[in-house]
Amino acid sequence: MAAGADSIDDMNILRHGGMKHRFDHVYAPSTLGSFLRSFTFGHVRQLDAISSRFLTNLNEHTRLLPASQENTQSSTVFVDVDDTVIDVHSARKQGAGFGYQGSRGLNALLATASTSSSNQLIVGQRLRKGSTSSARGADKFVSDALATTKRTNPGAAVLVRADSAYYSSTVT
């Protein structure tokens, strides 16, 4: 869903190609929906930890945020924190609500990191209720995203850009 799927049918891609050879059973997309609805916030935090460790370990083998070629001594990593409402088309969609855009949807919170010579790398993501305030939980989310960024690019200066909705004493 963080990669752009807007319905459970989009998750059908998990059933194509060599997936049947890799896994014992490849279930229907609706089964995935039932599985995801059983998650608690504790499960989400565990997945955040796995994602962070995966990026850190991947960075040891493939430089994810390379420094610019002109100045290899010091580099700056730009972290962008923003949210958006992903439209949904069912009044019964779990967690859907009317967000700041006035449309029914889910609120996706993303943190990306980049350098002057790299593409953006997603260092944090959260899918929240559509009617959630932008700043809700931002303090912990931003600190986790910064910790992941610093582990993938130690020694780099980090510059954070966030909307004014995130300005509070707990985030700054």
Comparing 95 with 55, the larger pLDDT belongs to: 55
Alpha carbons 124 and 32: distance in angstroms, whole number: 22
Does residue 51 surpass a pLDDT of 70? yes
15-40 mean pLDDT: 72
Question: Per mean pLDDT, which range of 23-37, 70-84, 158-172 is the poorest?
Answer: 23-37
58 inside domain: yes
Q: Are residue 83 and residue 96 in the same domain, yes or no?
A: yes
**Helix, strand or coil, per DSSP, at residue 5:** coil
What is the span of the domain harbouring residue 22? 1-38
Q: Are residue 111 and residue 152 in the same domain, yes or no?
A: yes
172 inside domain: no
Element (H, E) at 38: none
5-28 mean pLDDT: 69
Q: Are residue 45 and residue 34 in the same domain, yes or no?
A: no
